[in-house]
Amino acid sequence: MPENDSLELFPAEHGARSGRGTPLADRMRPRRLDEVVGQAHLVGPGAPLRALLEAGSFPSLVLWGPPGTGKTTLARLLATAGPAGPTRFVALSAVAAGLKEVREVIAEAERMRRTGQRTVFFLDEIHRFNRAQQDALLPHVESGTVTLVGATTENPSFEVIGPLLSRCRVFTLRPLAAAELAELLVRALADHERGLGASAVEASAEVVAAIAEAAGGDARRALGLLETAVALRAARAQGPGAGPGTGPAALDLETVAEAAGQRVLLHDRDREEHYNVVSALIKSLRASDPDAALYYLARMLEAGEDPLFVARRLVIFASEDVGNAEPQALPLAVAAFEALDRIGLPEGRIPLAQAVTFLATAPKSNASYVALGRASAEVAKHGSPPVPLHLRNAPTPLMKAEGYGRDYEYAHDAPDTFVARRNLPEGVSDSPFYEPTARGTEREIGERLAAWRARRVRREET
């Protein structure tokens, strides 16, 4: 098979690389299932992925989860564990590969299949393959030429074509908890073969916890931060003024902070995490939790979200979820949008924060939104019945002669500007669409509307 930068072949018995210069995260990659930390819902006793590993026979599958949660590790273990024995494992990166590389993998897999050897085809970042590339995989997954193990950080419901996804089992990996990351870090510090045990570096529980927290659930990042912090500490120890024989190096929080630098927030503008954080903002506003709403606002802005997108969502929320319970919500949200549009960032964050806190603490009502849905359902049910004649305009003599506008009652001529007359077309339900809540300003609206509706009923009955 021709060599290329995107293709990586591993015999099944191959473990983590341990040569000098290999990143610590790669050296510490688990070689056995019992070394895996985290993902107990998948690899714990009786868990589904463990059962597949121990059986040594498994279907094509997709591993979905954030970076550094063990997708590649589990894919390799799938090819090495179980009574089925060694299996050919081929890894391909969808970032650099294309149809040519896929065809090469398939051709070799077909040849190996004739000799009785199975091929596990690990496709990292499968979401980077377009529809045509994924379509090319489909018949070979169906026929069993390859057992596909796809890894993705994106929701496969959106990124993997339906026919291919239907032929795979999907397993969801979770970010590692801080305690799980701490366990990995302690293991790496103590491991003399693959880890940092030979360096005699020391780290207090506080330092280990700080690294675990900075890693944000990512095992690869946690081990990378540890390795960087150790290198920084060693460089300082060998610098000017460093005394000989000072004993084992000890990591401190200052070095960890320097190694961590600025945390990169997990966010995007058109994929799942975008919708997750936006949903969290809206639902925190709806739950009247200004602190959580401000947190998600800050998180989106810090991650580079389009601030006008956020402002548009606030305008929608002001009508959909606050409505007439606090009529000032909509003009305030619109004003925040316009202010942001005119002044931009960073100052535009301030009117956004004002709008968020106002909307979160305002009384809530979705009565207008619900009312529109009821009215739309009635339109769908009855179509377009004629508008009552008294509501029609009569700009020409013919239309007036036809009765357009006849018996129309001008509301401003009424003592309280209310006309107790039915205005819906014949056949449309008399059931109210708009039912105000008893919250905020809408309480007063509800009382007034109830009185008007009662008067209208009495007139209809006479």
pLDDT digits (tens, 9 = 90+) for 213-250: 888 889 999 999 999 888 888 877 766 555 544 445 78
Q: Which helix (H) or strand (E) holds 401?
A: helix 397-401
Q: Give yes or no for a contact between 66 and 271, defined as CB atoms under 8 angstroms apart.
A: no
Average pLDDT value for residue range 295-318: 90
> Are 399 and 429 contained in the same domain?
yes
Residue 308 lies in a domain: yes
| Domain end call among 260, 281, 301 | 260
Q: What percent of the chain has pLDDT over 90?
A: 34
Q: Around Cβ 57, how many Cβ atoms within 10 Å? A: 11
| End-of-domain residue from the set 172, 198, 232 | 172
Instruction: Name the DSSP class of 252.
Output: -
8 φ/ψ angles, rounded to the nearest 5 degrees: -135, 125
What is the mean pLDDT of the segment spanning 133-158? 90
| C-alpha to C-alpha distance for 160 and 168, rounded to whole angstroms | 10
At 132, list the tokens: 């045509």
Identify the three-state secondary structure at position 417.
coil
115 lies in the same domain as 251: no
Query: What pLDDT, on the 0 to 100 scale, is given for residue 20?
Result: 55
How far apart are the C-alpha atoms of 34 and 37, rounded to whole Å? 8
- Above 70 in pLDDT, residue 19? no
147 and 184 in a common domain? no
Domain containing residue 195:
178-260
Q: What is the pLDDT of residue 259?
A: 82
The answer, yes or no, to whether residue 50 has pLDDT greater than 90, is no
Structure confidence at residue 112 (pLDDT): 85
Beta strands in 315-456, from DSSP E residues, in sequence order: none
266 in a domain, yes or no? no
Task: Tell me the torsion sign for CA atoms 205, 192, 90, 167.
Answer: negative
The DSSP secondary structure of 134-157, one letter per residue, reads HHHHHHHHHHTSSEEEEEESS-HH
Q: Note whether 53 and 137 are same-domain residues.
A: yes
Cα separation, 29 vs 116, whole angstroms:
29
DSSP-derived 3-state class of residue 61: strand
Is 48 in the same domain as 143?
yes
Q: Which are the contacts of 438, defined by CB distance < 8 A and separation ≥ 6?
A: 446
Identify which has the larger pLDDT, 461 or 118.
Answer: 118
Q: Residues 249, 199: contact at Cβ < 8 Å?
A: yes
pLDDT at 11 > cutoff 60:
no
> Residue 84 has what pLDDT?
53
Interval 441-445 mean pLDDT: 90
Asked if the model's pLDDT at residue 160 lies above 80, the reply is yes
- Average of per-residue pLDDT across 53-77: 87
- Angle, helix 290-302 to helix 349-361, in steps of 10 degrees: 150
Place of tokens 């949200």: 333
Examine the domain organization and report whether 184 and 224 are in the same domain.
Answer: yes
pLDDT category at 320 given cuts 50, 70, 90 is: very high
| Cα–Cα distance for residue pair 141/106, rounded to 1 Å | 10
pLDDT at 117: 83
Rounded CA separation 8/101 (Å)? 11
Mean pLDDT of the chain: 84
**Sheet with 169-172, side-by-side order of all strands:** 7-10, 88-93, 119-124, 147-152, 61-64, 169-172
Considering the domain architecture, whether residues 250 and 303 belong to the same structural domain is answered as: no
Of 216, 234, 260, the position where a domain reaches its end is: 260
pLDDT at residue 14 in the model? 41
- 83's tokens: 């009574």
Same domain flag for 101 and 167? yes
Beta-bridge mates of residue 119: 88
Count of the separate structural domains present in the chain: 4
pLDDT in tens, 390-433: 888 888 888 888 889 888 888 888 888 888 888 888 888 888 89
pLDDT of residue 164: 92
Instruction: Looking at the structure, tell me whether residues 37 and 126 fall in a common domain.
Output: yes
- One-letter amino acid at 334 equals V
pLDDT of 263: 56
Rounded-to-integer distance, Cα 349 and Cα 311, Å: 10
pLDDT at residue 16 is higher than 50: no
CATH number (domain holding residue 146): 3.40.50.300
Assess whether 56 and 129 both reside in one domain. yes
Confidence of residue 1 (pLDDT cuts 50, 70, 90): very low
pLDDT tens-place string over residues 325-344: 999 999 999 999 999 999 88
Give the pLDDT band (50/70/90) at residue 7: very low
Q: Are residues 343 and 448 in the same domain?
A: no
268: pLDDT strictly greater than 80: no
User: Which residues lie closer than 8 Å to 340 by C-beta, 6 or more apart?
Assistant: 307, 308, 311, 348, 351, 352
Q: Are 249 and 201 in contact (CB under 8 A)?
A: yes
**Residue 347: exposure state from Cβ atoms within 10 A (0-12, 13-18, ≥19):** exposed
Better-scored residue on pLDDT, 240 or 454: 454
